[in-house]
Structure formats: structure tokens, C-alpha cells
Amino acid sequence: MIEVQHVTKRYGPVTAVDDVSFRVDSGQILGFLGPNGAGKTTTMRILTGCASATEGQAFVAGYDVFEEPVEAKRRTGYLPETPPLYPDMTVREYLAFAARINGIRSVAQRERVAAAMARTNVEDVADRHCGKLSKGYRQRVGLAQAILHNPDVLILDEPTAGLDPKQIIETRELIKELAGDHTIILSTHILPEVAQTCERVVIINKGRVVAVDTPENLTGRLRGSETIRVQLDPRGADETAVVQAATVPNVSNVTATPTQDGLVTLEVQCEKGADVRSEVARAVITSGWGLLELTSMRMSLEDIFLELTTSEEPREEDAEAPEATDA
């Protein structure tokens, strides 16, 4: 549905987007993740025709965005970083205008505007001026504008920025709902959002794609080793638990740290891919210690994000190279 092939964007000596390639299948939600200035917005602007690329090709719904921009734009809904609202129009007028420039007129226009307002929950401000709306409403009116003409592809630049927690949940639900009929690209800073809403993640840093994968695989793939955190009650027993845990197969290292309330926390590291939780639990129980808590410490998306975007150049290249073909 969306295909980006080796897109590069240069501003004079600055390369904002460097040879970015990825694909989004029909009905999928793709999360676009990266620090500020990574090139997320630029890539999105290229896809929506607001900017042009120095090199490369991009297809939206089968149309080349550079060769057949009007056809591609007809099938794209775009919510830029700042919702593009005209302050002197009421929400209803604004959406009617947005409908008209998308070729929706007369009877259909009213229905579409009403439907989009209902979907994004902005009916109660329908007759207020866009300039007087709160950030949350602006964002949702912007979203209403993007889905108004029922496009195949939705490109949302930080759709939940500036919303309160309740609205964020509602918007995420809405985006998930939309995913069935629409193919969605969304960019965000909020990492859990990607884990919750997206089926695939593109991590981009300094204009380059650093990783493309599902959120689950990403969390799995980057663990060199897995860590289990075990909280124990010593109950006066000796330190055999530590020894016992260390003898479990595949366990590479065990560190014990006493906590302030007299408990002990064990960090058990094991080989990648091995699940040693039940063995560790058994070892602890047989040693006579009380097992209070056992948590598998998966690397959160945040850790991965930081690792991918802050690590040194050569590492980045390693991570990126196999992914480019994967995309």
C-alpha cells in the first residue's frame, strides 16, 4: 500500500533523509520512531507531497507520489505536526472546506463531515472557531480532516501530542479501529504507544533507518542475554539459593543484592533465547528460601530505542544493514 524506495532528501549540505526504504502492507499500522530531527516529519512530508525528494521513489496506493501526485493525494489523509486549521473558520466550516478541496461536495459533504466529527468526538465544538480550540480539540479536528475523505492511507505526525491521558487512549483506540480499512503511518515520541498500536516499527535516526521490525521482535532481537529478577526472602537460610541458581543450565551469571527490608534481589542472566524461569524457581525453592517475585526483565522499547539511536556509528551500521533488505 505504501512503498518507499531509497528516498533521500538533502538541503544543501545537510542530508535530512538518507536512503530510507520501507513498506507498509494494506491495513497495517506502522510506527515511525526516532529522536527529534531524525527525519520522520520530512519523510512524511515527502509521502504527502508537501516536500519533494532528492532521490528515490515513493508509492502510495499504487501511485507514484512524484509522477501522479493528485491521484496519490486523493488517497492520502495527512495530519501534520501542527494541525493545519484556519483560526477564523468554525470546525464545521473548516471540515466542509477540507471536504470540498478533496472533491466531496453537496449532499455527501454533510454526511462525511458529520461522520468525521462523530468519529473524532468533536461534535460539541462544531460551531466554535478553530482558533479558540484547546490543543486536544485542535489535534482531533486535524484528525477529522485527515479521515474525512476516507483515504486508503493515513499519515499521522504525532497524533497524540498535546492530548490528555484519556484522549490519548481514545485516539489510540480510534487509530486501531481505522487500521482495518486504512493503512496508517504514525510517528510518535511516546514509545509505549508504538508497542500498543503498531504492528511494525521503523526506527529512524539521523535520517537513516536503523531498524524495521515488529515491536515484539525488536524487544526480543536486541537482547544479548536475558535477565530474570528474583526477589527472595532469606528466612535465615544460608546463601545456597544463589549457588543453586547459578548451577541451572544456561545461566551465565548471578548477582545478589540485599535490599533494605532484609530481602535479597537476584539478577540471573542467562543465554539468549533460553527460558530458565521454572528451573530458577525450582532451584530457589529447594534451597529453602522464600520466593516472593520472579520477573523476566525484557528490554523495553525505550531501552532499544536508546540503544539504537545513541550507540556509536559502526554499531548503527550493523543494525541497519540487514534491516534495509528486510524492509
Partner 1 sequence: MRNILTIALKELRSYFVSPMAYVAIGFFVFIYGYFFVVSLNFMVRVSMQAGMMGGPQAINVNEYMVRPLLGNMAVVMLFLLPALTGRSYAEEKRSGTIELLLSSPLTGPQIILGKYLGALALFTLMLGVTFVHVGVLFLYGEPELGPILSGYLGLWLMGGAFISVGLLISSMTKNQTVAVVGAFGTALMLWIVSWIGDPSSGSTTTEVLAYLSILDHFDDFSKGVIDTKHLAYYLSFITFGLFLTARSVDSERWRG
Question: Using the rule CB under 8 A, which residue among 27, 80, 234, 290 binds partner 1?
Answer: 80
Task: Answer yes or no whether residue 48 interacts with partner 1 by CB under 8 A.
Answer: yes
Task: Answer yes or no whether residue 145 interacts with partner 1 by CB under 8 A.
Answer: yes
**Among 70-78, 171-179, 198-206, 244-252, which window interacts with partner 1 (CB under 8 A)?**
70-78
Task: Answer yes or no whether residue 71 interacts with partner 1 by CB under 8 A.
Answer: yes
Question: Using the rule CB under 8 A, which residue among 25, 55, 62, 82 binds partner 1?
Answer: 82
**Among 24-32, 84-92, 111-119, 301-309, which window interacts with partner 1 (CB under 8 A)?**
84-92
Task: Answer yes or no whether residue 73 interacts with partner 1 by CB under 8 A.
Answer: yes
Q: Are strands 251-258 and 226-233 parallel, antiparallel or unpaired?
A: unpaired
**Among 85-93, 183-191, 243-251, 306-314, which window interacts with partner 1 (CB under 8 A)?**
85-93
Q: Do 62 and 76 contact (CB within 8 A), yes or no?
A: no
Minimal distance, residue 102 CB to partner 1, in Å: 6
Question: Using the rule CB under 8 A, which residue among 21, 43, 76, 287 binds partner 1?
Answer: 76
Distance CA 132, CA 186 (A): 26
Task: Answer yes or no whether residue 244 interacts with partner 1 by CB under 8 A.
Answer: no
Contacts 24+ apart (CB under 8 A), 98-103: 98/145, 98/148, 99/148, 99/149, 102/74, 102/148, 102/149, 103/74, 103/149
Nearer to partner 1, 45 or 92 (CB): 45
Task: Answer yes or no whether residue 120 interacts with partner 1 by CB under 8 A.
Answer: no
What is the signed CA dihedral for 35, 41, 47, 50, rounded to 10 degrees? -160
Q: Do 226 and 274 contact (CB within 8 A), yes or no?
A: yes
